[in-house]
Amino acid sequence: MKLWASITVGIAALSVVGAALYVSSLSESLVKRISPNGSFYDARTHYFQRGPFDKKVVCITFDDGPHPTSAKTLLATLKAEHVPATFFVVGSRVKEHPEIVKEMIDEGHAVGNHTQDHIRLDTLPPDKIAKQIEYCETNVERATGHRMGYLRPPGMRFNDSVLKVSTKLGYTIIGWNIGAKDFIAGKPKKPLDQMTVSEAKTVDLTPELVTSRVLKQLKKGTIILLHDNPVTAAALPAIIRQVRAKGFEFVSVQKMMQALPQPVQVASNPVLVAKTSAKMR
């Protein structure tokens, strides 16, 4: 009896160690940029990495907004071209421009959580990770009357704590496969979203360069990462036109997940039915 108990305890201990090693190795692989040959969706972590390899569909996503001028231009282009998009918004900017986020949802786009202050979540303890997500959540709910189902951690930086908190809060993390590098590294004289297209050219970022970077990486089932800024807004018509010329269709993140070999059902912005607590700051 004692021997059997010892064996049972030993097996349980090994299982715990094995699970810990699995989670550790998993999180290490997740913080790296996703390979074009990566898996589609990880049910353990609620992480959507890419769409199916056999369909000429792509998703277009925008991070870091809303910035009033460029966001309006992006929305106008998307409406004219009948292209669905997902906007990962920053809560502090939503608070300043709630009407733009409402317009995004009213026009049929998805709005996702990009934290309250654009802080790298893997540098925070669990309680502060939750606050960054919840503050953004509340700002969007108050602006639109809708909840959010998608989360993109700033810089795609996350670890086990971020995964646990985001899952507990009911989010699916949305990755990306095509990055246009439509931002300025280092410390420019002023933020890119405040620059004109002409000013951005002085730091070697042009609409033509953004467009070419997208097209060079174009593959079936990929998720395109762009940013809410004037240069990208100027590039968007050419991106849409040239992607379509190659036979690709723009679909929403929700539709792409539904098209997976094992379909995943995640609503992007369900209507808010329960009154949220006052988390807004």
Write the pLDDT tens digit of every residue in 74-132: 999 999 999 999 999 999 999 999 999 999 999 999 999 999 999 999 999 999 999 99
Residue 194 has pLDDT above 90, yes or no: no
Q: What is the dihedral sign for C-alpha 126, 128, 129, 134? A: positive
Alpha-carbon dihedral of residues 98, 103, 104, 109, nearest 10 degrees?
A: 150
* Alpha helices, DSSP H, located in 31-112: 68-81, 91-96, 98-106
**Residue 205: what pLDDT?**
86
Q: How far apart are CA 182 and CA 4, in angstroms?
A: 61
- Which amino acid would we find at residue 40? F
Report the predicted TM-score, pTM, of the whole model to 2 decimal places.
0.82
Domains of the chain by residue range: 31-258
- With contact defined as beta carbons under 8 Å apart, do 185 and 14 qualify? no
CATH superfamily placement of domain 31-258? Glycoside hydrolase/deacetylase (3.20.20.370)
Strand partners, 111: 87
